[in-house]
């Protein structure tokens, strides 16, 4: 029996919500602290289980971490880095642990990291990470489920990424920061989290230009210094609350957001008749009762396309929209795990290859459902907010990986969600 959320429907959610620092920005930044022997302070760090796992990994490598509860910042003392092997337990808990391979290689000349397994949403290969490290001069060995990399020195290279992989772009950017000479990365990812990582590295003395575009130039430097860095807000957490306002036909004001990072989500919400307006301190998302929420098609794409991490959230919204919507998932090969659970709640969804065809129904019905991964779980929680009757959502650990007490924040906006410890 796992912990679960008991969710009862209430009316429209209304009020203010403060968005935390971005999980997918803080994880690569924490890995990047290993590139310097000096202390780093990372601010606006969300208290997530994924962050706790990354801190555990850093500590296991000799890089101590210390929370400053008052300011919500994290101090990383990477000077203590004395181990070049990451234990399986950490990579098993957190796939993003693999991001330490580039910094350890660059700082110590070698690294041994378990090959991350797949997860619910796909096989999650790391071939593009390794192709980039090899181009920089690393020897790569894969035995017994571990990837070992070594290099007497790293030398800048021209690297073309077959796919604009976020993680591979981050791995190569971190390793190239301490390589000799210039690295040019082409067809790389342009997500805001890449820009945040480049800002962290440049503040530490790196020379990275073009982050946020598909061509990034990195002139390697001999060493990096400690920095004090504030992580960008979490655009997916923000998108989650934007969809919560839309789905419950409510009115929510989000603060600590960067509107530019949310353009694809804002555009799609406006397309389905939800109002999104910029305020002096953030974004207001609300529904005009005189308008129906209508169906719209979605195709997930690398940034600045519609984010794959928002796909399940939007599917929950389309489940009771007026009309038929088609959601096509182009980034991960198995990211419709929430469909079966939504159908148990009465949704009318058919999967055809990489697309889901959704016929909006008047209202969903509460049911016992299971979260399979972080965003699928969040999508089911939102769907339950307006379903008729009680919903029991199991798999709270998935949601806790990416949200700081999502149920508490939704309850403060008028929801009725109880966490039951098994
Ligand atoms: C990051 O994962 C995010 N995680 C994911 O968020 C996000 O969904 C994803 O980027 C896409 O935006 C973190 O930042 C910690 P990718 P990442 O490498 O880096 C293929 C969440 O819910 N690929 O851009 O793993 C891969 O199979 C998580 O917060 C290769 O083929 O994403 C996938 O189909 C889920 N070879 C596609 O690229 C590689 O070497 C996108 O993967 C690497 C990736």
| Residue in the block written with tokens 């330490």 | 100
From 40, 55, 84, 119, active-site residue: 119
User: Considering only CA atoms, which residue is closest to atom 31 of ligand 1?
Assistant: 125
Does residue 235's CB lie within 6 angstroms of at least one atom of ligand 1?
no
% the chain with pLDDT above 90: 93
User: Considering only CA atoms, which residue is closest to atom 37 of ligand 1?
Assistant: 331
Residue 84 a catalytic site member: no
pLDDT surpasses 90 at 122: no
CB 327 within 8 A of CB 355: yes
Stretch 109-122: mean pLDDT: 88
Indicate yes or no: pTM above 0.75. Answer: yes
Give the pLDDT confidence of 338-395 residue by residue, as tens digits: 999 999 999 999 999 999 999 999 999 999 999 999 999 999 999 999 999 999 999 9
pLDDT surpasses 90 at 416: yes
Residues 6 or more apart whose CB falls under 8 angstroms from that of 143 comprise none
User: Considering only CA atoms, which residue is closest to atom 14 of ligand 1?
Assistant: 24
Give the Cα separation of 201 and 29 in Å (integer): 8
CB 101 within 8 A of CB 113: yes
Does residue 27's CB lie within 6 angstroms of at least one atom of ligand 1?
yes
Give the pLDDT confidence of 313-322 residue by residue, as tens digits: 999 999 999 9
Q: What does the buried/exposed string (b/e) look like for 338-354 if buried means 16 or more CB atoms within 10 Å of the residue's CB?
A: bbebbbbbbbebeeeeb
Instruction: Please tell me the distance between residue 286's alpha carbon and the centre of ligand 1 in angstroms.
Output: 31
Instruction: Please tell me the distance between residue 287's alpha carbon and the centre of ligand 1 in angstroms.
Output: 32
Does residue 241's CB lie within 6 angstroms of at least one atom of ligand 1?
no
Instruction: Please tell me the distance between residue 315's alpha carbon and the centre of ligand 1 in angstroms.
Output: 20
Q: In a mutational test of the pocket of ligand 1, which residue from 32, 120, 124 has the highest number of ligand atoms less than 8 Å from its CB? A: 124
């Amino acid at each position: 029996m796992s912990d679960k959320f008991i969710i009862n429907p209430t009316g429209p959610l209304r009020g203010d919500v403060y968005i935390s620092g971005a999980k997918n920005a803080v994880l690569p930044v924490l890995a990047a602290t290993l590139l310097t022997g000096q202390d780093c302070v990372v601010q606006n760090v969300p208290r997530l289980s994924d962050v706790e796992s990354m801190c555990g990994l850093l500590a296991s490598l000799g890089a101590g971490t210390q929370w400053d509860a008052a300011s919500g910042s994290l101090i990383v003392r990477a000077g203590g880095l004395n181990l070049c092997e990451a234990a399986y337990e950490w990579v098993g808990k957190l796939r993003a642990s693999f991001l330490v391979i580039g910094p350890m290689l660059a700082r110590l000349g070698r690294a041994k990291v378990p090959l991350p397994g797949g997860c619910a949403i796909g096989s999650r290969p790391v071939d593009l990470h390794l192709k980039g490290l090899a181009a920089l001069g690393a020897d790569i060995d894969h035995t017994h489920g571990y990837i070992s990399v070594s290099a007497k020195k790293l030398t800048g290279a021209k690297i073309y990424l077959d796919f604009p992989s976020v993680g591979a772009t981050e791995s190569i950017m971190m390793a190239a920061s301490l390589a000799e000479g210039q690295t040019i990365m082409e067809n790389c990812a342009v997500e805001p989290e890449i820009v945040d990582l480049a800002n962290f590295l440049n503040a530490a003395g790196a020379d990275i230009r073009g982050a946020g575009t598909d061509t990034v130039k990195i002139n390697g430097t001999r060493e990096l210094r400690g920095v004090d860095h504030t992580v960008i807000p979490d655009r997916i957490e923000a998108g989650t609350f934007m969809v919560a306002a839309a789905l419950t036909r409510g009115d929510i004001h989000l603060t600590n957001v960067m509107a530019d990072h949310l353009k694809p989500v804002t555009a799609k919400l406006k397309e389905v008749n939800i109002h999104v307006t910029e305020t002096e301190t953030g974004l207001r998302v609300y529904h005009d009762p005189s308008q129906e929420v209508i169906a719209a098609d979605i195709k997930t794409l690398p940034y600045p396309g519609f984010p794959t991490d928002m796909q399940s959230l939007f599917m929950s919204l389309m489940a009771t929209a007026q009309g038929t919507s088609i959601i096509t998932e182009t980034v991960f090969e198995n990211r419709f795990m929430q469909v079966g659970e939504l159908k148990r709640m009465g949704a009318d969804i058919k999967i055809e290859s990489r697309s889901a065809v959704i016929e909006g129904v008047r209202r969903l019905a509460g049911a016992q459902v299971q979260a399979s991964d972080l965003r699928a779980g969040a999508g089911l929680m939102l769907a339950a907010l307006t379903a008729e009757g009680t919903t029991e959502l199991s798999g709270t650990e998935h949601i806790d990986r990416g949200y700081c007490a999502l149920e508490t924040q939704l309850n403060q906006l008028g929801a009725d969600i109880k966490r039951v410890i098994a």
